[in-house]
Amino acid sequence: MLGETPDNPVEEPEKADDKKKRKSSRRSSEASSGDFIWSTETGLPIDYGPWTVEGPHPPVGRKSRLAGVGRLVRDLVEIGIFALLLFIGLRLVVQNFRVEGSSMEGTLHDGQLILVNKASYFKVNLGFLDVIPFVHVDDSSHFLFGGPGRGDVIVFRFPNQPDRDFIKRVIGLPGEQVAIKDGLVFINGKALDEKYIPDRTQHDFGPELVPDGEYFVMGDNRNNSYDSRSWGFVPEANIIGRAWVSYWPFDSFGFVSHPSIQPLGTQGNSP
168 is catalytic: yes
- How many residues are given for the chain? 271
Do 155 and 115 touch, CB atoms closer than 8 A? no
**Measured distance CA(173)–CA(23) in Å, rounded:** 97
Secondary structure tally for the chain: helices H, strands E: 3, 15
Do 185 and 264 touch, CB atoms closer than 8 A? no
**Distance of CA 197 to CAs 9, 105, 106, 248, Å?**
121, 8, 6, 22
Of 103, 120, 225, 246, the catalytic one is 103
Determine phi and psi for 60, rounding to 5 degrees: -70, 120
**Measured distance CA(261)–CA(149) in Å, rounded:** 9
Do 93 and 233 touch, CB atoms closer than 8 A? no
**Measured distance CA(139)–CA(153) in Å, rounded:** 29
**Measured distance CA(176)–CA(185) in Å, rounded:** 12
Of 118, 120, 168, 225, the catalytic one is 168
Nearest to 246 by CA among 237, 233, 238, 255: 255
- Beta-bridge mates of residue 75: none
Do 185 and 171 touch, CB atoms closer than 8 A? yes
103 is catalytic: yes
**Measured distance CA(154)–CA(165) in Å, rounded:** 10
User: Would you name the residues annotated as active-site residues?
Assistant: 103, 168
